[in-house]
Structure 1
Amino acid sequence: MERYEGKKVVIIGGTSGMGLATVKMLLDGSARVLVTGRSQAGLDSAQQELGKGAIVVSSDARSLTEINALASRVKAEFDTFDLLFVNAGFALRAPLESMTEAIYDEMFNLNAKGPFFAVQKLAPLINRGGSVVLTTSVANVKGMPGVAAYGAAKAALRSFARVLAAELLPREIRVNAVSPGPIDTPILDKSFPDKDAAAQIREQMNGIIPMKRFGTSEEIAKAVLFLGFDATFTNGAELPVDGGASQL
């Protein structure tokens, strides 16, 4: 029997990077997976890479209307499921003097509001004994210049993990968070379109990280699946996967 045979998983934000790596590990373990993304190019690329083993769905993680539609789709495809991995999100850099209301709202809508309502709408479909994993960030515990709104939104998400864990206890649904540090994903290039700037950021971050390297999407995926399936006496916790950046 394969490791995840019989398991059904929903991943919000899984067409690239950490989410995609998690989908692949689940499929390798014979799970059934429904994964969402927003850009058509990303959806097409993921479907081609994953084949028929995954259900790839267009859904905007910021939109409550689309979150409601996603819940209906999950109900139709799976009826109930075992793990919800809420992974959609990215950072827009803006220091204090150049922060705009639009950037502020985007960061909270994508990184805090959307995930909260995704759990609200999808939790009724999670099997008793199932789990939720949220993606927070090292930015929620470190004062990182230029990402005030992003860090604050992820800190809100960290708080949600605790409260939702308490609220879902009667249904035996665990809620935990994985907190990535610098991970080598396409998001970095999206956040820093200028290649020289991206290279400079990589060099700076390598100097800061105690382990002197970026993490990989596969390392995040392993942590997510540990929290989702193996850490059965862990609830309301945040697992840093950051090369020691938030601890040392």
Structure 2
Amino acid sequence: MQKLKNKVALITGATSGIGKATALDFIENGATVIITGRFQNTIDETIKELGLNAKGIVSDAGKMSDLLELNSKVRTLTPQIDVLYVNAGFGKYASIETINEEHFDEQFNVIVKGTLFTVQQILPLMKEGSSIILNTSIVTEIGMPNSAVYSAAKSAVQSFVKTFAAELASKKIRINAVSPGPINTNYFERSNLTQEQIEKFAGSVFPQIPLGRFAQPSEVAKVVTFLASDDASFMHGSEVFVDGGFPKIKI
């Protein structure tokens, strides 16, 4: 059974990782998918992989001008969005002593401002019964060194889930969040960590995962598909953790 048959979905930041995996899963479940990314070449490459039921828009979630054009760009492709998955985001790391304004603004622009105004701009295209999914993160649950800005930004998104849920209930539009843990993606490509630092970070996290492995992007994608579908019809304002038990379970 195709959970999203005849639905039209918009996924931001979907040229790689969890976003791309979710686009594929949505299409396999019967949806037509519109993806966004920052560069035309990566959009084109991804569309070729996803096939005929995928379309793409160049849009940078960290640029206000792009965010304010998102509604009109989407309208050129479809009059209606049934599912919105706000996936665009990244993390950079710095100690309290070395955080500067650029470090702060770059992440808050994409993760906080980007999430807020993406929802605002696409909401007029969504009708009763539609679904919105946001990305939070396990960093909101723990004190991770050097992640003050990233964690604060994701905590703001976590707050959006609750406040947006209160506002959208009267419109009968559901909103929930997926909170990924350690996932095997290219997440660190846009970070400011060296390869050595990435390997050290992964090495410190791995022993704390009760299931003993990193997840694949497709495992998160299936949870997003569930939240987008009618199978989650009575879920609203919820946050689903996909983290292999990290960091809630001590082993």
TM-score range, shorter chain: over 0.9
- Once the two structures are superposed, the pairs formed by residues 111-126 of structure 1 within 5 Å of their partners are 111-126=111-126
Tell me, yes or no, if structure 1 residue 233 matches structure 2 residue 234. yes
Q: Kindly provide the CA deviation profile for residues 134-190 of structure 1, in whole angstroms up to 9, marking residues without a partner as x.
A: 001101121111110010000000000110011011110011110011111111244
Aligned to 2:78: 78
- Indicate conservation of the 8 Å contact 1:17/1:185, yes or no: yes
- CA shift, 1:41, in A, is 4.2
Q: How far apart in 1 are the matches of 2:189 and 2:10?
A: 26
Aligned to 1:211: 211
Residue 150 of structure 2 aligns with an amino acid whose one-letter code is Y
Partner SS state of residue 129, structure 2:
strand
- Once the two structures are superposed, the pairs formed by residues 39-188 of structure 1 within 5 Å of their partners are 39-188=39-188
So what's the TM-score if we normalise by structure 1?
0.95
Q: Kindly provide the CA deviation profile for residues 88-132 of structure 1, in whole angstroms up to 9, marking residues without a partner as x.
A: 001011111111111011111111111011111111111211110
Q: How far apart in 2 are the matches of 1:191 and 1:41?
A: 21
Q: How far apart in 1 are the matches of 2:179 and 2:60?
A: 22
Q: Kindly provide the CA deviation profile for residues 59-99 of structure 1, in whole angstroms up to 9, marking residues without a partner as x.
A: 01122221221211222211012110000001011111111
So what's the TM-score if we normalise by structure 2?
0.94
Stretch of structure 1 that moved more, 82-91 or 198-207: 198-207
Q: How far apart in 2 are the matches of 1:76 and 1:242?
A: 37
Structure-2 change in CA distance of 1:51 and 1:193 (3 Å): farther
- CA shift, 1:46, in A, is 1.1
Number of residue-to-residue matches in the alignment: 248
Q: How far apart in 2 are the matches of 1:208 and 1:161?
A: 27
Aligned to 1:24: 24
**What 5-or-longer segments of structure 1 have no aligned partner?**
none
Q: How far apart in 1 are the matches of 2:199 and 2:98?
A: 23
- CA shift, 1:205, in A, is 1.2
Residue 239 of structure 1 aligns with an amino acid whose one-letter code is V
Structure-2 change in CA distance of 1:131 and 1:2 (3 Å): closer
Residue 142 of structure 2 aligns with an amino acid whose one-letter code is K
Aligned to 2:8: 8
Structure-2 change in CA distance of 1:2 and 1:211 (3 Å): closer
- Indicate conservation of the 8 Å contact 1:210/1:243, yes or no: yes
Q: How far apart in 1 are the matches of 2:4 and 2:132?
A: 16
- Indicate conservation of the 8 Å contact 1:192/1:198, yes or no: no
Partner SS state of residue 202, structure 1:
helix
Stretch of structure 1 that moved more, 41-50 or 86-95: 41-50
Stretch of structure 1 that moved more, 191-200 or 129-138: 191-200
Aligned-pair identity (%):
40
Q: How far apart in 2 are the matches of 1:207 and 1:100?
A: 32
Residue 154 of structure 1 aligns with an amino acid whose one-letter code is K
Partner SS state of residue 131, structure 2:
strand
- CA shift, 1:192, in A, is 6.0
- Indicate conservation of the 8 Å contact 2:85/2:134, yes or no: yes
- CA shift, 1:43, in A, is 1.9
- Indicate conservation of the 8 Å contact 2:91/2:190, yes or no: no
